[in-house]
Structure 1
Amino acid sequence: MEQYTQQFLNSVLSQRGPSALPYAEDMKWHIRQHLLHLTEAYPSLQPKTAVFNHNDGRTVNLLQADGTVPMSFQGVTYNIPVLIWLMEAYPRQVPFVLVNPTRDMIIKRPHPFVSPNGVVSIPYLQTWVFPGSNLVELVRNLSHFFARDPPLYSQRKPSTHNSNPNLNSNYGSVNSSMESTEARPAMPPKVYSFSPPPPYGVGRVMEDPAEVFKKNAINKLVEGLSTDIREIRSGREVEMEGLFSAQSVLRKREEELRRGLKEMQDEREGLEQQLQLVLMNTDVLNQWLRDNEGKLCCQDFSSVDVDEAFELSDTLSKQMMDCTASDLAVEDTIYALDKAVQEGVVPFDQYLRNVRLLSREQFFHRATASKVRAVQMQAQVASMAARTPQYALS
């Protein structure tokens, strides 16, 4: 039976296309394991597929566990027929449990856990959380709560006279006690059949050795096939676990690739902004060259005073030039001190003292130049954006 259950679940859960069951692909393995464990613990419940009708009129083909749940009441074991539907979002969604009475059974009214239409609502269903919850624990809880208060009773039927007093002499007291009460937990009576063995030496027939060999060969083949199936099943389970692990690794890599792609896009946007700034500066320089190219065309370059060739346009530019000139002058002085100390003209302690003083002065010049450059850049960008809107980023 376990082999047929496995084959059935493998078949229905592997279907694709319009006939596929509406369960998530990454949950089908868990659904299969839940049903296999359920049938192993409670063979009276077997999986099957059936059409489920939603309240809004939709119909969908779903898995269900159909059968009976054993319970113990007053020292007697009874079987309660139930239907356990696995909804579309199972196992993250709680299963839908129904008590499924037969024609000669009625639902107890009122019942704390079963509605008049058979819907079951026990605390385990109300606190269902995957992956901690499963079908085996669900049925165990159903058996516990049904034993506290049986949900089904058999309808009282008129007693019929039995003409065989030897076989039913022990049932007389039972029937009379049942007639004295209104209802009793529903359970089909257990029927035991007994056939006495034939007398020794009478009717014994020797079996054909060929038939015995054939039966033994069939049993051996069945045993070998069962062993092979168990080994194949174990191998497939290991492969499935490996595939799930690989799927998890691929998802992590997908997240890393998405994160890297976003970083590259951000870097691209930053480079585009820098490119726009370079283009604006290039246009400014080209415009300056066009405006000043003709001013020196007719003059003697040797007579041009470099200090007077450039005229500063604002205070920031003058401050920038002063800081740059001072920085370069300090740099030349430090270089000259390096040459002097190497040639032994300047003592080493005096060299260190002068370099320390010059380095401090150079630091302040460079810091001032950096601040002036930042202010000039902001002013230049604002001016170019106002004069040339075509450079605005799209």
Structure 2
Amino acid sequence: MATAAAPAGTVVLVDAALAPYEHPDLRWLVRKHVLAVLQEFPTLSPSVDTYTSDDGASAVLLNARGPLAVSPALPPILLTVWLPREYPYRPPLVFAFPAAPSAALVPDHPFVDHRTGRVHRTLPYLEGWSVPRSSLAGLVRSLVAALRMCHPLTTASFGFAAGDARTTRAGATPVEEERRRMHAVLVDKLAARLGRDAAAFRGGVDEDIHAMSSMQAGLRTRGDAMDRAVRDLEEERTRLERAVTASLAHRGKLLAWLHKTSPAPDPGVALAPHAAAGRGDAPRWLESKAAELAADDAIDTLGRALENGELSFQEYIKRVKILAREQFFHCYAASKST
């Protein structure tokens, strides 16, 4: 295990540095990650230093730094991996600098910022960082593979390394030296082109994100307006339902009062004038009067059904309109028959 192979001083340093971290239940996992990357990459060593962020905030953080050989044929880089207080839920902060003072970083590199040395989140391993799948050793392995394909140092740095190789390698022919120099130039051009493409792609992505954010704000405003309209309509529907219920209750009281106060009609008295007259249209009058009274009874029955919830308000209004129209014609026919 990595913990058993690490020196006792390193374990004590790591444990002391992890004391102020935010997730005490995961300190064993963080210590495992740190000791694993130190064992796999012996050139890195742990230390505790003050890290200052872009907004000026500073914190004492655990870090692992040291020269890292990307490839035997390429010059090493000086790597620094900072562990934020929220680690492992927040990915580490990685910086890559030239190991030689005369070297410089490639402008517009797809993964490394040539001004600050910060490794961008465009590195696939950093972009897909998740717990517990990701680790420091996996991050450094991914960074080595990415920088091996696209080295962050400029052509001058490659030339300096090639000059050292010429002094250390005896018997190298001018053809081999020219071939190595051309290879370095091509790699530098490829890195510059990849950097420009990555910068253009990031610019397009930023524009798309801005446009989508503006659209999202507009849709959110429309959604709020629709919610307010729906709430207003719900309140209006509730108010109308209460008004209809109150009207039906008042109508029921009026009908009860009318039935209580109105005297019962005497069929003999109602039919006396027509019987005495002996006119030939008496059967027609009787038929119209009976239809008028039947329509009135049907309207009362519909009102009771509405009060009991057996009939909807729309259906009640529809049927009452039809019955009222028929009752009007029967009443008119009865008046013409007298």
TM bucket (normalised to shorter chain) is: 0.3 to 0.5
TM-score by length of 1: 0.39
TM-score by length of 2: 0.44
The structure with the largest helix share of the pair is 2
Task: Specify which structure has the bigger relative contact order, considering alpha-carbon pairs within 8 angstroms and separated by 6 or more residues.
Answer: 2
